[in-house]
Amino acid sequence: MTELELKYGCNPNQKPARLYMEGRELPITVLNGKPGYINFMDALNSWQLVKALKKSTGLPAAASFKHVSPAGAALGKPLSDVERKIFFAPEGDLSPIACAYIRARGADRLCSFGDWAALSDTCDADTARYLAAEVSDGVIAPGYTDEALEILKTKRKGGYNVVQIDPDYEPDPIERRNIYGIWFEQGYNDLAIDEKMLENIVTANKELSQDAKNDMLLSLITLKYTQSNSVCYVKDGMTIGVGAGQQSRIHCTRLAGNKADIWWLRQHPKVLGLQFVDNIRRPDRDNAIDIYISDEHDDVLAEGVWQNTFKVKPEVLTEAEKKEWIAKMSGVTVGSDAFFPFGDNVERARKSGVQYIAQPGGSIRDDQVIATADKYGMVMAFTGIRLFHH
């Protein structure tokens, strides 16, 4: 048996704590820092996500995890000029894996504060430099270049958590879990999510490009490692809104849709034109943008507040301007880990530019859900597979 002692469990009072395997060597190596119990829960869940994404799409993938659910996940596609600005990306060419993490982190920068990063490919210097500038707890990857490791070892006064995992590791076919002294046992969820799942298109519109298929796969694989109930919005190879752990499906759809709207509003000309004071910290800037976009904008513009954030007092972003801008969003994909029970989920998704839907199907009201999608010319695939994760 090999084991790794941990400082404590989910909370400081939960001792002792350790990771261990019987009859096998642990597939992980701590290269720097001292990750904790929740760190490893994030690391192992996020690694499964990016490994599956890389296998399914053939593209480098990255994820940003918080509390065992993804705040964001993305494929390694080049960054647009706007994305470089809103994600704080450096100028010049960037590696695909660096682009993947920058986009995953940019999906929801507030929720990614203090995240755990996962990379499908070797962590290079581009990725390490970006990670070093963000508030992050740690990273897991199949390898690190020497330069990347040296950069990461300087973060958090030398205590940044760096974990390497054997990319060839496969878990046992049966997994076990202990709750309240009682053992649970089930087969490991080795379900492969691929394009075959997208063949049952039930809407009148059946036009599905390769990019749209990749977005569907990204949404489904993200959902497979998100606490249920969950709904995920995706655009251009990155999640833009993840709604996790809600008891109601429509609440998941609304939560994720609201996050997608905020992601889109961050690209509004008024937001891009905000003039921040020199040397403002990234988290402070993210918080200010979030408040500026939200209904709390009066607070950030109040006397005594805006002077500490902005060089020039910004104009209010009105509700009418927000509504007009959100109406311009298009080409969005939404995935659901279980069936949509009512057409109201489709109605809410449409408000955030959704054109493509991937969901299991199987509701007694499938006809109503399909009719709602057809009303807006959407493409909807029934995967036939539920993706609950707890």
Name the residues annotated as catalytic.
Answer: 66-67, 229, 390
Cβ atoms of residues 64 and 101 within 8 Å:
yes
C-alpha 104/C-alpha 239 separation (Å) is 7
N-to-C CA span, the chain: 27
DSSP 306-342: GGGTBSSPPPP--HHHHHHHHTT--SEEEEESS---S
360 φψ region: left (φ > 0), alpha (ψ -120 to 50), beta (else): alpha
SS3 for 75? strand
Token pair for 131: 């990670």
For residues 201 and 381, the answer to whether their CB atoms sit within 8 Å is yes
| Sheet with 69-75: strands ordered across | 28-32, 161-165, 136-141, 115-119, 61-66, 69-75, 238-244, 230-235, 332-336, 354-359, 379-382
Given the structure tokens 């655009």, which residue do they identify? Answer: 235
Q: Tell which residue, 251, 229, 255, has the closest CA to residue 242.
A: 255
Give alpha helix (H) positions in the chain.
37-57, 81-86, 96-106, 125-132, 146-152, 210-224, 249-265, 269-272, 282-293, 297-301, 319-326, 344-350, 366-375
Instruction: Put residue 353 in one of left, alpha, beta given phi > 0 → left and psi -120 to 50 → alpha.
Output: left
Burial class (CB in 10 A: 0-12, 13-18, 19+), 146: exposed
Length of the chain, in residues: 390
Q: If DSSP codes are grouped into helix, strand and coil, which group holds residue 182?
A: strand
Contact 270, 293 (CB under 8 A): no
